[in-house]
Chains A and B, each alone.
Chain A
Amino acid sequence: MLAKRIIPCLDIKDGLLVKGIQFRNHQIMGDILEYAKFYSDAGADELVFYDITASTDQRIVNKQWISKIASHLDIPFCVAGGIRTLDDARVILNSGADKISINSPALENPRLITELAKEFGNQCVVIGIDSHENQNDYFVYQYTGNPSKMRPTLRRTQDWIREVQDLGAGEIVLNCMNHDGVKNGYDIKQLTLMRQITRVPLIASGGAGEITHFSAVFNVAQVEGALAASVFHTQSIQIQDLKKYLQTQNIRVRL
């Protein structure tokens, strides 16, 4: 049986691991490879490396660190940030990443999703969506890596999820912005709603603070994976402890 995935997310800025609160005030946390190895050894199922500067600065992530990560890791990982063309994606996948995740560039040019899926297979095309609750509906935000460029779009999150699936997305990471970084739990209401219209794997992001938040998001929202950053980086939650707890809650995990 397929296990639920625990996915630490490593935000990268200028080659260093950082974490901000609700996308702002980024603090430097340390060396990428060191953290990557730590998580892999701790039992993480997958890692996401997100270059938060790349998309807004219109430059692609440097591929050297990707090869370095790929040569040391024996679990899958995904790279996000500033991938705008097939060539950008090819460089990252050829460097050893298993998946690429696109967010703002997909909003600028939705056809990119189809081009990527045709070229590399939809299984390695992940669409990141930053979704914000406004007046009882959910809307997609763009350029969230940079507070001065961040802006709402006119797209409803539900419409965008349907569209990216039709265009060839193989997985969706839904970051619920109202919950991000505040550690009061995943946005179960929104994720449950979006799970019903999502036909591809759905990964929850934003809000993890305690181990019970993970059991809730798996049991109630029925997502395939849960992504978190600061609770893992600060070691307030150990992945092994988390997985043992989830197992006691009858959630299937890889131990």
Chain B
Amino acid sequence: MISIIDSGGANISSIQFALNRLGVSANLTSNPEIIVKSSHIILPGVGSAGSALQYLKNNALIEVIRSLTQPVLGICLGMQILFDFSEEDNTECLGIISGRINKIKSQDKQVIIPHMGWNTIENIENDFIMKGIDPQSYVYFIHSYAAPVGNYTTATTIYGSPLSAAVRYNNFYGTQFHPERSSVVGSNILKNFLEL
């Protein structure tokens, strides 16, 4: 059983549709009992860090998510809130991955924010969910905040400076890009995740 955590943001159905295209169905749920029994869990997120955390708090999901031992995939904001803290709304996040989410720096107005569109991923580590993904593959990004490159980084992208495109800590995976909107490359990453 696969669950998508209903984190209150819009745009969750596109993840559901992407899984359907892979021939699997997923529950969209904020019910802790269903979440803990799931084999794979996706934490989406569109909106702001503050509102996403508030939603998880209101639904008593903070501890539930922290204690999960099965594969969890945070997407975009869902990846960011796995970290300790986000500059967006100065939000204390889930604290699963140690580090801070910062606003993307706009040096001399050369870097336009949001980072929106197709960018290449590089420095791809030998991580199962990146299996078969070629360096320099294009994936779709749409974000204004980002994780710096750290020891949790499993792929990078360059936008002004290098940023984390994908991260991992134990069973917690995250992609800053949207695999559900990244054509064949994204679909393969989702497929790899479901095979974990």
B46 touches A225 (CB 8 A): no
Q: Are B46 and A121 in contact (CB under 8 A)?
A: yes
Contact of A254 among B109, B115, B138, B158 (CB under 8 A): B138
Q: Which residues of A contact B184 (CB under 8 A)?
A: 74
Shortest Cβ gap from A66 to chain B (Å): 9
**Which residue of A is nearest B52, CB measured?**
A121
Is A181 part of the contact surface with B, judged by Cβ < 8 Å?
Answer: no
Min CB distance, B179 to chain A, in Å? 9
Taking CB atoms and an 8 Å cut-off, the chain A residues in 60-99 that contact chain B are: 67, 70-71, 74-76, 89-90, 93-99
Contacts of A224 in B (CB 8 A): 112, 116-117
Q: Could you say which of A1-9, A23-31, A152-160, A206-214 contacts chain B?
A: A1-9
Interface centre among B10, B13, B115 (most CB of A within 10 A): B10
Instruction: Please judge, given known A-B contacts A74-B187, A122-B144, whether A93 and B10 are in contact too, CB under 8 Å.
Output: yes
Query: Bound state CA distance, A89 and B10, in angstroms?
Result: 9
Is A75 a contact partner of B116 (Cβ separation < 8 A)?
A: no
How many chain B residues touch A (CB < 8 A): the figure is 40
Closest-by-CB residue of A relative to B160 is: A2
Size of chain A's interface in residues, with CB distance under 8 A? 38
- Which residues does chain B contribute within 8 Å of A46, judged by CB atoms? 117
Q: Contact: A200 with B112, CB < 8 Å?
A: yes
Hey, which chain A residues are within 8 Å of B120, CB to CB? Answer: 1
CA distance A122 to B88 in the complex (A): 12
CB distance from A197 to the nearest CB of B (A): 10
A-B residue pair count with CB separations less than 8 angstroms: 107
Whether A17 sits at the interface, judged by CB under 8 Å, is no
Residue A201 lies at the interface, judged by CB distance under 8 Å to chain B: yes
Cα A40 to Cα B120 with chains together (Å): 19
What is the bound-complex CA distance between A67 and B13, given in angstroms? 8
B12 interfacial by beta-carbon distance below 8 Å: yes
Contact with A74, one of B106, B119, B181 (Cβ below 8 angstroms): B181
Asked if A170 is at the interface (CB within 8 A of a chain B CB), the reply is yes
Task: For A89, list chain B residues within 8 Å (CB).
Answer: 10
Task: Indicate if the CB atoms of A3 and B144 lie closer than 8 Å.
Answer: no
A75 proximity list for chain B (CB < 8 A): 140, 181, 183
Between-chain CB contacts (< 8 Å), 10 pairs = A1-B119, A5-B117, A74-B183, A76-B178, A96-B17, A120-B47, A121-B77, A124-B46, A201-B116, A254-B138
Q: A residues bordering B, Cβ < 8 Å? A: 1-5, 40, 45-46, 67, 70-71, 74-76, 89-90, 93-99, 118-124, 170-171, 199-201, 224-225, 254
Please give 8 more A-B residue pairs, beta carbons under 8 A apart, in addition to A1-B119, A124-B11, A201-B116: A3-B138, A71-B20, A75-B183, A76-B140, A76-B178, A96-B11, A120-B47, A224-B117
